[in-house]
Amino acid sequence: MHEAGLEALLGQVHIRTTTQFHHVVHAEVIFICVGTPLSSDGSMSLESIAKASEEIARVLGQRNDYCVVAVKSTVVPGTTEELVIPILETSKRKAGVDFGVCMTPEFLREGMAVYDYMNPARIVIGEYDRRSGETLLGLCTNFNAPVVRTNLRTAEIIKVACNSFLGTKISFINEIGNICKMLGADTRQVAEAMGLDERIGNKFLNPGIGFGGSCISKDISGLVAKARQMGYRPHLLESVLKVNDEQPIRVVELLKKHISLKGTDIGILGLAFKPGTDDVRDSRAARIVEILLHEGARIKAYDPLAVPNFRGLFPNIGFVGKDEVLKCDAIVIATEWEEFEYLDYRGKIVIDGRGIAKAREARIYEGVCW
């Protein structure tokens, strides 16, 4: 796992790692930070949340003092009340009396997690009761950020609502970009002008091949599944996911305009879902490679950090240096690493999914939606 500043930080603090839950028997605050990946039906898997809660319940049963259990994992609304608290109370202790419960979501960007933790835009504390919230608030006194104190369900939906909105902005500008490309309009100038409106802002208005990673898509899918479960059809959020799923397909269609894919060497620049990380979960590059392999193309790929993780997904493709990628019959830019701005694309066929300015020097250049 690559995180800027993390190695230095770990050298300044004392952290004890263990798989034995009884080692936290004296903790004043116990955070649940386990993953909630998507299940096959599109909902968030709560298996790890349940397992952690069971282990903490065993610890609570050995105590007679007060502590707070704080859920930091991203969950759909209702999870803390309907799953976590009932499991914790199998300890024969009462939530809000014998122990506290909070839900405090994280808002960290991968690759910038240390900075974001130290410089939060806001701190959200969802509290089961006031004492629980006061205890957790005591950990936040050194942060210069607004604190939103609310109930458990509101805190849970704040996190998924934030990521859903970010995904909506990305899919929106990509859809506008798809239309602009057909019209011959300049998508990037459209986005620039839109961003100057303070009601809109320029963040997450970069047209391209869509969002990836472990958070945005999962959180939107989880919220969609929860809404359907309650009998509501979230049309907008469903469309956000559909537009995002279709953007990588557009890359392959653009390639087909200029070159036959079967038996052709296609170079992929960038494998991580975004620059600054080695994370390839839901990477747009992975979807593009999957489609290209199905079309019979040969793949040569490069990324400064993510090759080991990507090799786990596609062990049989070629992992090469940047120079070898540039020798391929056509090139796809899938991650906006800064170093890609300094390559020589002259004479090449380039399908650009991320808006690398230097790539416009290619013999044949196509932006995915500009």
- How far is CA 156 from each of CA 78, 221, 222, 307, rounded to the nearest angstrom? 8, 15, 12, 34
**Coil, strand, or helix at residue 258?**
helix
- By DSSP bridging, strand 265-269 and strand 330-333 are parallel
Tokens 């300015």 belong to which residue? 357
Secondary structure (DSSP) of 295-361:
TT-EEEEE-SS-HHHHHHH-TTSEE--HHHHHTSSEEEE-S--GGGGGS--TT-EEEESS--GGGGG
CA distance 178 to 370: 7
**Coil, strand, or helix at residue 66?**
coil
* Residue 68 β-bridge partners: 29, 100
Nearest in space to 280 (alpha carbons), one of 313, 325, 238: 313
Nearest in space to 122 (alpha carbons), one of 106, 141, 136, 135: 106
108 and 116 Cβ atoms separated by less than 8 Å? yes
Nearest in space to 3 (alpha carbons), one of 281, 285, 305, 217: 305
CA distance 90 to 94: 9
**Is 215 an annotated catalytic residue?**
yes
Classify residue 366 as exposed, middle or buried by CB count within 10 Å of its CB (0-12, 13-18, 19+): buried
**Coil, strand, or helix at residue 122?**
coil
- How far is CA 2 from each of CA 29, 56, 74, 276, 309, rounded to the nearest angstrom? 27, 29, 21, 8, 12
Q: Which of 102, 162, 180, 215 is catalytic?
A: 215
Query: Rounded to 10 degrees, what is the CA torsion of 324, 327, 328, 334?
Result: 60
Two tokens at 139?
């950990």
Catalytic (active-site) positions: 215
